[in-house]
Amino acid sequence: MPNAAIAPQQASRLIHVLFVIQLISMGAMEMSGPFWPLHLKALSTSDVQFGIAGVAVYVGPMLGILLTSAFWGRIGDRFGHKPMMIRALLGLSLTQLALAYATDVWTILLLRFLQGACAGYIAPAQAYGVSIEAPLRRARLFAYLQVSTNIGSLAGAVAGGLILDHAAFFWINTVAAILCALCAVAVAMILPSVPPPAHAAPATQPSVAASRSGGSLWRTAPILGLLGIIGILLMSRMITQTPFSLYVGSIFHVSNWVVGLCYGLLALGFVMSASLWARYFENRDLPDALRRMACIAAACAMLTALAGATRNIGVFVAIYFAWGVLLGATTPVLMSLISRAAAGHQQGYVLGIAQGTSQFSSIAGIALGGWFLQAAGLEYIYFLVAFFYALAVVAVLATLRRRQAASRRAGMSPGP
């Protein structure tokens, strides 16, 4: 339930503030993202060290978030999500400042892990948004914040490149530290504190007692199945992360700008469609939403299989944009379904678990793509992606079947 002390018009303005803060902070973090290999190459003492560092510098923050997101979520549920947002932004600022001065490869990797472990801004921002937004509008909320992250990532990468063209890598991290600190001040000064909600069952739960037990939560709600669906979908998306540029360059023999165009069109499709998909799904019940999600996953499987089969760059570019449009209907909608299935006093914990699941799935997808590249070769990578999307269809249908069986059992149970 949204906080009764915050009027709907004020809540709308506050969500716009969240959008801007998330755009700036995530953009600040992505300023260094594409350029860590260049920086680490200059600092590495051997090819082996560079090979390890080139992977660990990206996996480290994901691992840190994976290990700590549920813990920070529980703290947010108890003391409020605004302090967790401030804590995360200050953590990002301090670690970015330390990274600006770090000149040892292993120190950089340790700081990147600590950055993920101490920060984890997205989950508390989502939980704060949930606390002030109406339940039926949560799909729109998650889509809006996801769009903010994507735009920030694209803008941050461009800004980081401009800085690196005119100054040292030191200034990328220093500017990012300043921006994150300013975002922390903005959260403290602009966003009102929202007290943690009292223990109450969510709208989709059959009883208050079920929501007060962590074990009952996982047994009675579809959260576990939804987390599995998110995990498989994210793995499918991340399989091509490492071999993407190699695939496009070697299969289609095109210039680097075309490679960048394909990659950017995926994000563009997501940004253009996420809010529209959110409106499409927001008034649908869980079984109806799952049936439509199965169709979307099946469409992704067909598109990625076609991407692996085509040797026409124009068709490949069009597929990437269409794939991005379909992706706009996946994570934001599923996150809203998870949020609606959990009680108000468990939002931070459940969204923290979801964030950790996302990080684990991303790591697994990147690792699987790297292994498959070595084991089977570039030309089959998109067929592997299509296979995992087919598995996602199976997971959606299995979750739907379990949900329907649970509903039938609840309908047949004797009344009090």
CA atoms of 313 and 310, how far apart (whole Å): 8
Query: pLDDT digits over 139-184, tens only?
Result: 788 888 888 888 887 788 778 888 888 888 899 999 999 999 999 9
Model pLDDT, residue 352: 80
Model pLDDT, residue 5: 56
Q: What's the CATH architecture for 1-197?
A: Up-down Bundle (1.20)
Model pLDDT, residue 409: 65
CA atoms of 276 and 320, how far apart (whole Å): 18
Residue 278 · residue 142 · CB < 8 Å: yes
CA atoms of 284 and 301, how far apart (whole Å): 24
Low-confidence ranges of the chain (pLDDT < 70): 1-7, 197-221, 343-344, 406-416
Q: How many CA atoms lie within 13 A of 366 on its CB side?
A: 16
Q: What is the pTM of this model?
A: 0.75
Model pLDDT, residue 53: 83
Which ranges in the chain are annotated with CATH 1.20.1250.20?
Answer: 1-197, 205-409
Model pLDDT, residue 381: 92
CA atoms of 26 and 176, how far apart (whole Å): 9
Model pLDDT, residue 211: 43
Tokens representing 141 are 């909320």
Query: pLDDT digits over 157-166, tens only?
Result: 778 888 888 8
Burial of 325 (0-12, 13-18, 19+ CB in 10 A): buried
CATH class of 205-409: mainly alpha
Model pLDDT, residue 290: 92
Model pLDDT, residue 6: 65
Query: pLDDT digits over 213-229, tens only?
Result: 445 555 555 888 899 99
